[in-house]
Amino acid sequence: LSHDHSTLLSVDEAQQRLLDQFETLPAESIALEAAAGRILAEDIYSSLDLPPFPNSSMDGFAVRVADVAGAQVDHPAVLPVVADIPAGRISRQTLGAGQAARIMTGAPLPVGAEAVIPVEDTDFNVREAGVEAPEQVQIYRAAGAGENVRPQGQDVQHGELVLPAQTWLRPQEIGFLAMLGAALVPVTRRPRVAIFSSGDELVPVGRSLQPGQIHDSNNYTLTALVKQNGGQVIDLGIVADDARAVEETLDRAVEQGVDLLLTSAGVSVGAFDFVRSVVEQRGELGFWRVNMRPGKPLVFGHYRQVPFIGLPGNPVSAFVGFQIFVRTAIAKLAGAQDRPRNIQQVRLLEAVHSDGRESYLRAVISRQDGELVARLTGHQGSGNLRSLVQANALLILPSGVKLLQAGEMANAWLLSDIRVEITA
Ligand code: AMP
Ligand code: MG
């Protein structure tokens, strides 16, 4: 890793260079009920047909097609009911010619049956539990072969690839895995991310502010972001601007076994850059000058072999830096394909300025006359977290563009595309 002070990296190059430093974590096998929000480590092949047996999709009467051919309300087919088949029970009886069987939704179709006539199309329009089946039934309509029957293997065939590795397990995948009988699921280990803030001015929430102090907000933002992206947080709190304290904190994190050290502030090339000097002593640290705004240098390195990312201290810069760099790194650790950003073309309602770096500006996107329009959320100071709260998107000005006029089009990155936290 070079200590590169001279080259100006594009955002894409910096992202790629950072990603190259991360490896996907090993797999572990966990209980299905704990797997929501995790990432599949292996391809999943079905060991079952789904449905596992042909079954009825309605409450009704199982019949043979020929026996109901031409049936109508004023000319019903009248059939003896020879069996009553609730869900969960196999009928021992084969359905012979001229016979019907009452059958419930999800119950296995009896051998010999070809279709199910719903109760609504018979003279026995009864669904209440506990009501005995009639001795005979009048069928008011004809049926085609397979009507209201879910055939075995219709949805999934035994041996089929059903979920590829890298799939992010949403509630619907969890239910699907349950259908397949997967009690244990191979997932990648959750990335363990140690977070700390540095600065003598910072106090945690719950303490009153003395003159010159502010609440540490980055720790809370970053914790929520890490969790939202499937990571586990090791909270190391606030560390004073003091080399010993920084070193002790980093050592504590490394000894607990973490996959990423994530910090905000304290890394600027100024007088109080303790984090920088400590990391350099026991590892390596690079300052990458990235052609973006907001952005101090992106600080990346290793401390005792553990990857280290230093985000800027300013709360908006820390948030944007996380979204652009840390999110993809965590996704790679977790074995997930980072979901593509939700980028939309928007029309500007006001002129937007930049200094020519790739700029990420807080904006509100709304729909107006059938198109998406954008306006900025007030002053864009990188300490103004309120303007980020008011935003639902980051407007992206490409590098080299210093001005876009009102009425021009631009790209907006909708922030609502981030993952919803499921894991605790
Ligand atoms: P620094 O990178 O240490 O120069 O900090 C830049 C700015 O961000 C300063 O105004 C700090 O007070 C502020 N800042 C640093 N860390 C935090 C934090 N954890 N929460 C809120 N503001 C912070
Ligand atoms: Mg500071």
Reading the chain (424 residues) residue by residue, the pLDDT tens digits are 444 445 789 999 999 999 999 999 999 999 999 999 999 999 999 999 999 999 999 999 999 999 999 999 999 999 999 999 999 999 999 999 999 999 999 999 999 999 999 999 999 998 887 899 999 999 999 999 999 999 999 999 999 999 999 999 999 999 999 999 999 999 999 999 999 998 889 999 999 999 999 999 999 999 999 998 999 999 999 998 888 999 999 999 999 999 999 999 876 656 456 788 888 889 998 888 899 999 877 889 999 999 999 999 999 999 999 999 999 999 999 998 766 788 999 999 999 999 999 999 999 999 999 999 999 998 889 999 999 999 999 999 999 999 999 999 999 999 875 444 334 4
* Nearest ligand to the C-alpha atom of residue 213: 1
CA distances from 380 to 35, 324, 368 (A): 40, 18, 24
Long-range contacts of 111-115 (CB under 8 A, 24+ apart): 112/64, 113/62, 113/63, 113/64, 113/149, 114/63, 114/64, 114/65, 114/143, 114/145, 114/146, 114/149, 115/62, 115/63, 115/64, 115/65, 115/68, 115/143, 115/144, 115/145, 115/146, 115/147, 115/148, 115/149
Tokens of residue 234, six digits: 């090791």
Tokens of residue 57, six digits: 């999709």
Residues in the chain: 424
Residue 35 CA, ligand 2 centroid: distance in Å: 39
Distance CA 13, CA 8 (A): 10
Question: Three-class SS string for 143-180?
Answer: CCCCCCEECCCCCECCCCEEECCCCECCHHHHHHHHHC
**Nearest-atom index, ligand 1, CA of 217:** 20
Contact by Cβ (8 Å): 299, 286: yes
Q: Is the CB of 221 under 6 A from ligand 1?
A: no
Candidate from 214, 268, 287 with most ligand 1 atoms within 8 A of CB, to mutate: 214
Residue 243 CA, ligand 2 centroid: distance in Å: 13
**Nearest-atom index, ligand 1, CA of 238:** 19
Residue 302 CA, ligand 1 centroid: distance in Å: 22
> How many helices, marked H, and strands, marked E, lie in the chain?
9, 28
Of the candidates 40, 59, 57, the one whose C-alpha atom is nearest the C-alpha of residue 180 is: 40
Distance CA 250, CA 252 (A): 5
Kindly report the pTM of this predicted structure.
Answer: 0.87
